[in-house]
Amino acid sequence: MRAKAVTSSVIVALLVMGLSATIASAATAVKTVKGEVVFAYGQRPGDPGNCSAIVFVKWPDQPRTVSATAFYTFKGQERSQVAAPPFNDTYEWVATYTVTPGYHWIQVGKSWKDGPVADTCEGISAKQRTLIGTEARVELTLAPDPKVCKAAKTTLTAKRKAVTKLKAQLRNASSAKAKSRLRTKLTAAKAKQAKALKRVGQVC
């Protein structure tokens, strides 16, 4: 009997640890937004013969973004590029390229030229347009929303209290009819508690 009691205690402890880990884990979400392919070119300040042509995938800012994957096409084949904040919002390659406020971008193509004759690399940029498609998308990994997480945990706390209350009522019930009614309520309350716990794991 003692061995069974010890085993049961271990199982309960493991379940509690698993429950705590589920609640404490930080869940992330993936959101896909439309991307814009930007072809830019410019000269090195003070050296007009040195120029660069850069290709970016640009998208509007999304709060709580922790990483982004830009998908685009090169010679008709899909490719991707991953980056984390601050992404390539200020990009220096011969010239300096800065994204429009309220947006971010990731560099997906680059070339340059350095010679004795002034050049803007506009011709190279035109060549890039024949290789890289104009359609793009960006998959954003978003950190949990603290407000949504807090609301989910508050709901879970309420559901747990309901289960605890029904268990106490069941222990104190005297008639078979009352016990049957309370067991039905307890089963439903436990299901709601499990749903609330799952929600916490999804958003926190």
Each residue's pLDDT tens digit, 50-68: 999 999 999 999 999 999 9
Each residue's pLDDT tens digit, 106-128: 999 999 999 999 999 999 999 99
Residues 41, 73, single domain; the answer is yes
Residues 112, 188, single domain; the answer is no
Residues 79, 177, single domain; the answer is no
Q: How many domains does the chain have?
A: 2
The per-residue pLDDT for 24 is 36
Tell me how far CA of residue 72 lies from CA of 40, 81, 83, 92, in angstroms. Answer: 16, 9, 14, 22
Sheet of strand 77-83: strand arrangement: 77-83, 65-74, 135-142, 29-44, 47-60, 103-114
Report whether pLDDT(35) > 80: yes
Percent of the chain with pLDDT over 90: 79
The per-residue pLDDT for 202 is 79
Residues 121 and 112: their CA atoms lie apart, in Å, by 7
Report whether pLDDT(19) > 70: no
Residues 122, 36, single domain; the answer is yes
Q: Which residues, 6+ apart, have CB-to-CB distance to 97 below 8 Å?
A: 40, 42, 54, 56, 90, 91
Residue bearing the bigger pLDDT, 5 or 79: 79
Q: Across residues 8-12, what is the average pLDDT?
A: 35
Single residue among 93, 115, 142 that ends a domain in this structure? 142
21-35, 73-87, 108-122, 144-158: least confident range: 21-35
Each residue's pLDDT tens digit, 156-172: 999 999 999 999 999 99
Is residue 99, in this structure, part of any structural domain at all?
yes
Instruction: Give the structural domain span for 176.
Output: 145-204
> Whole-model pTM above 0.75?
no
The per-residue pLDDT for 26 is 54
Pair of tokens at residue 118: 């002034």
